[in-house]
């Protein structure tokens, strides 16, 4: 069964190419354009992993992480942050809130991201 990756990003020019890349690697994808939309969607499904932007309208990625970790049903959902947010302190704060990895959109390689996705999916599978 294919792993489902939930892409949460308000920027269509980032979200759509990411979905295409993930689909080409054999993953199933769903997406949301902001944190509130993502949390609403999580009422009806639980993905295997979430790729999350931090800077979004309506509800940012930091609040999404807080809500995920505070809800038992979602607390163990692996989250990898892929963001353009370069403010000092953004990465440590995201990690404190439970992000497993943080990639900057301007600096990451697809190989590194896919290696992280594979690692997180393998770690979250029951033994």
Sketch the domain layout of the chain as residue ranges. Answer: 4-124
Instruction: Give me the phi and psi of 68, to 5 degrees please.
Output: -60, -50
β-bridge pairing 28-32 and 49-52 = unpaired
**pTM for the complete prediction?**
0.92
Question: What per-residue confidence (pLDDT) applies to 89?
Answer: 82
Whether the per-residue pLDDT at 104 is higher than 70: the answer is yes
Question: What per-residue confidence (pLDDT) applies to 118?
Answer: 92
Quote the CATH superfamily of domain 4-124: Response regulator (3.40.50.2300)
> pLDDT tens digit string along 23-35?
999 999 999 999 9
Question: What per-residue confidence (pLDDT) applies to 6?
Answer: 97
Distance (Å, rounded) from C-alpha 96 to C-alpha 103? 15
Question: What per-residue confidence (pLDDT) applies to 126?
Answer: 64
Provide the token pair at 66. 């807080």
Question: What per-residue confidence (pLDDT) applies to 43?
Answer: 94
What average pLDDT is seen over the chain? 90
Distance (Å, rounded) from C-alpha 37 to C-alpha 95? 22
Outline where the chain has alpha helix (H): 12-24, 35-41, 61-69, 90-96, 110-124
The contacts of residue 57 (CB under 8 Å, 6+ apart) are: 10, 34
């Amino acid at each position: 069964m294919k792993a489902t990756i939930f892409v949460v990003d308000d920027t269509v020019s980032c979200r759509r190419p990411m979905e295409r890349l993930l689909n080409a690697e054999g993953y199933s994808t769903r997406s949301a354009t902001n944190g509130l939309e993502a949390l609403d969607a999580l009422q009806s499904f639980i993905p295997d992993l979430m790729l999350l932007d931090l800077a979004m309208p309506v509800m940012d990625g930091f609040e999404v992480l807080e809500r995920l970790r505070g809800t038992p049903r979602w607390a163990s959902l692996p989250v990898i942050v892929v963001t353009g947010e370069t403010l000092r302190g953004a990465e440590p704060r995201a990690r404190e809130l439970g992000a497993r990895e943080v990639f900057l959109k301007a600096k990451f390689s697809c190989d590194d991201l896919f290696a992280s996705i594979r690692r997180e999916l393998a770690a979250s599978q029951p033994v």
